[in-house]
Amino acid sequence: MVIDALSTDACWRHLAQVPTGRLCFVEDGEPMVLPFNHALDGHSIVLRTAAGTALHRLASGATVAYEADATVPVTCEGWSVVVRGHLAEITDDGERADVARLGLHPWASGRRDHYLRLRPWAVTGRAIRATAVDEESEVVR
Amino acid sequence: MSEEKHEIGLEVLGTEECLQLLSGAVIGRVAFQADGVPHLLPVNYAADADGTVVFRTAEHTVLESVGGRPAVFEADGFDAVNHTGWSVCVRGTGRELTGHDTTARRLLELTVISWAPGQRDRWFAITPDEVTGRRIPLVRAADFGWIPGVVS
């Protein structure tokens, strides 16, 4: 098995392949993790939440981490991308109309009509892949 | 948290079901705050019967900072076709397992197969103060009074 660091471009390509991820934020010194389905808008991540949630309260520039991954258990391969940045609610009408066109619909029922944007300041990713047979033999030699 | 509005539309899972889901997955994520920044790192793990999760890391990794800090371990499973899924969180404090007490020695017996290459000799655990889980209920078309193929 080898582990590769993903380029920023590769990170965004991977993020675009999956509909879900998890958001980590800190509230009262306690880490919180919530799963989300997301949409990408250029190099930012768009989420939806309801008014009055912990997340909505934090959506004024709080530092958060968003992680998405995909795995292939049979071969023990997979990738993970972590986006760190600031979370802010989208309040501008024009911007709201733009992100509404992304087709982001929460999977759970109930109104979640506040759009949040995660503007990244760091995007990192790693991929674990099985070593090709010829690479293994290189190592043996 | 129980009255939070992000709970709307979600089914609250009982502890037994959470533990069952935890025991059936192999990848989860460890969340904690270090240097004022939230971290969320995927790990291979094993779960003990009480929901204690055990994972390994190498020397000099970010993950070793979880020792002594409030931490959350999260595992989940999603079905992108049916827009359903579950998520279980183990909330507690991270600690390094050094084998100096019987609990640690027992946890060190758990098998944690790490997919990533390299030595991963530092063992950590999060023992739960709380185990919680949520599921997005499967919404079937029939629940809307509409059945595919039946024109009414």
Scan residues 75-104 of B and list those with Cβ closer than 8 Å to A.
Answer: 76, 78, 80, 83-85, 87, 89, 91
Q: Of 3.30.930.10, 2.30.110.10, 2.40.50.140, 3.40.190.10, which CATH number belongs to A2-140?
A: 2.30.110.10
* Pairing status of strand B37-47 against strand A39-40: unpaired
Digit-coded pLDDT (tens) for B124-151: 999 999 999 999 988 755 454 444 454 4
Instruction: For residue B24, give both structure tokens.
Output: 């059936």
Strand, coil or helix: A67: strand
What gap in Å lies between CA A128 and CA A1, rounded to an integer? 7
Do B37 and A84 count as a contact with CB atoms less than 8 A apart?
yes
* ipTM of predicted assembly, 2 dp: 0.88
CB B19 within 8 A of CB B131: yes
Asked if the C-beta of B116 comes within 8 angstroms of chain A's C-beta atoms, the answer is yes
Phi and psi torsions of A66, nearest 5° = -120, 130
Residue with tokens 């499967």: B138
Domain boundaries, chain B: 5-144
Digit-coded pLDDT (tens) for B77-106: 999 888 899 999 999 999 999 877 888 888
The whole-model pTM stands at 0.88
Of residues A34, A73, A128, nearest to B26 (C-beta): A73
Q: What is the pLDDT of residue B19?
A: 97
Q: What is the mean pLDDT of residues B66-76?
A: 97
Of residues B29, B37, B116, nearest to A33 (C-beta): B29
* Pairing status of strand B27-34 against strand B53-57: unpaired
SS3 content of chain A, % helix, strand, coil (to 5): 20, 50, 30
Where on the phi/psi map is residue B120: left (φ > 0), alpha (ψ -120 to 50), or beta?
beta
CB A67 within 8 A of CB B42: yes
Q: What is the pLDDT of residue B1?
A: 44
Instruction: For residue A99, give both structure tokens.
Output: 């992100």
Q: What is the pLDDT of residue B5?
A: 58
Strand, coil or helix: A54: helix
Q: What is the pLDDT of residue B104?
A: 83
Please report residues of A whose CB lies closer than 8 A to that of B32: 31
Asked if the C-beta of A98 comes within 8 angstroms of chain B's C-beta atoms, the answer is no
Do A82 and B40 count as a contact with CB atoms less than 8 A apart?
yes
Digit-coded pLDDT (tens) for A48-68: 988 878 777 777 888 999 999
Mutate to test the interface with B, among A1, A3, A17, A22 (most CBs of B within 10 A): A22
Q: Of 2.30.110.10, 1.10.3720.10, 3.40.50.300, 3.40.50.620, which CATH number belongs to B5-144?
A: 2.30.110.10
Question: How many residues in total does chain A contain?
Answer: 141
Of residues B9, B37, B113, nearest to A109 (C-beta): B9
Angle (nearest 5°) at CA A73 between A72 and A76: 85
What gap in Å lies between CA B64 and CA B3, rounded to an integer? 34
User: How far does A110 lie from chain B, in Å, by closest CA?
Assistant: 6
Q: What is the mean pLDDT of residues A2-29?
A: 94
Q: What is the pLDDT of residue A138?
A: 46
- Nearest partner of A124 among A68, A55, A45, judged by Cα: A68
**What torsion, rounded to 10 degrees, do the Cα atoms B89, B90, B95, B96 define?**
-70
What gap in Å lies between CA B71 and CA B84, rounded to an integer? 26
Domain boundaries, chain A: 2-140
Please report residues of B whose CB lies closer than 8 A to that of A19: 78, 80
